[in-house]
Amino acid sequence: MSYLLESLGRGLLGRLSDGLGDRLPDVSAATESDLIQAVSDAPTSADAHLRLATWYWHVERYADADRFFSRARALADDPRPAAVGQACVADALGQLEAVLRHLSFIAARDPHDPAIAFSIGFTYERRGNTVAAIANYRRAIELHPHLRNAYERLAAIAIRDREYAEAIALYATLVELEPESPD
């Protein structure tokens, strides 16, 4: 039974950053002082602000992270990465309305991004709005028919709602998409 529960829960991310964190720069080798210096040297550089914001987010200094993500977003030609950062900060703080605002901003600029559609669905599901969650998971699948997490979340919702035929159909689709996967 634990294998079944583990399988059903695989599509549920623990945090928004599990699915979107790779859209932020890698700052693992950076130091705070180097990043502050980069912002000081190039105060209009969206990238410098984004990198410092990401560093603050990683060390859970969320107010600083949000402040620098906001500056990066204002300076950037493409504000989507900074908006992803702001969504991740809001998610870490449990501010789901703010998460939806930031994700909706991104979706308005790129309506063809399946990860954003999935993330919006994930956020709605966490808020208890299953109808909106399902609509966004289906949108994510329309955009990327092989997006495993969306099928898994839809199947988990179907099981919770005792719509077993729907859950079976969703998992059958997953088997068709990935016949080599033992999961």
Evaluate the CA torsion angle 5, 9, 10, 14 in order and state its sign: negative
Phi-psi label, residue 2: left if phi above 0, alpha if psi -120 to 50, beta otherwise: alpha
pLDDT tens per residue across span 105-116: 999 999 999 999
CB atoms within 10 A of CB 47: 15
State both tokens at 102: 């930031």
Model confidence, pTM: 0.88
H-helix segments, 10-45: 17-20, 32-41
H-helix segments, 16-163: 17-20, 32-41, 46-58, 62-75, 80-92, 96-109, 114-127, 130-143, 148-160
Give the up-direction half-sphere exposure of residue 128: CA atoms within 13 A in the CB hemisphere. Answer: 0
Cα separation, 150 vs 115, whole angstroms: 9
The pLDDT mean for the chain works out to: 91
pLDDT tens per residue across span 124-159: 999 999 999 999 999 999 999 999 999 999 999 999
Report the percentage of the chain scoring pLDDT > 70: 91
CB atoms within 10 A of CB 87: 29
Residues present in the chain in total: 183
